[in-house]
Amino acid sequence: MKRFSSLFAVAWMVFAISHGEVFPAPSQVPSREQRICTYFKRSESDVRLLRDNGFGYAEIVKILIIANESKKPLPDLLSMNQKGLGWGTIAQNVGLKPTAIKRKVDAARLKLNIHTRPNRAVPEK
């Protein structure tokens, strides 16, 4: 099966190149941080602040949508989260509907190709 998938990949690349498709060099493909910065019109320092606070890219998308929709500064939202509030509660506290935020988050993650990891919790014995 592995050999078949490798042959298929090579055949697809030959087909794509022969039909004028151009593949960008890996150095030209924007990183997740760059895609997020461009999409939300934010500086890299904003994304770096969130990464340094331990947030993953999927969660950063949610935080930036709440910040953009509520017009609240990131430090205010982060302080609410550090007090133990979840993002849905924070969204409600700043006057947003969590279901509307979830739809926007899902759309942004799809467009940015940023996905959450599956839950890898160890089942109880």
Question: Across the 125 residues of the chain, what is the mean pLDDT of every consecutive 10-residue run?
Answer: 62 68 62 90 92 92 95 94 94 94 93 73 53
DSSP 39: H
HEC profile for 45-102? HHHHHHHHCCCCHHHHHHHHHHHHHHCCCHHHHHHHHHCCCCHHHHHHHCCCCHHHHH
Residue 19 inside a domain? The answer is no
For residue 120, is it within any domain? no
In this prediction, residue 99 carries a pLDDT of: 92
Q: Is residue 24 part of a domain?
A: no
Structural domain that includes position 67: 31-112
Q: Is residue 11 part of a domain?
A: no
Instruction: Identify the pLDDT of residue 19.
Output: 63
d(CA 58, CA 105): 9
Q: Does the residue 118 lie in any domain?
A: no
Q: Are 73 and 67 in contact (CB under 8 A)?
A: yes
Domain tally, the chain? 1
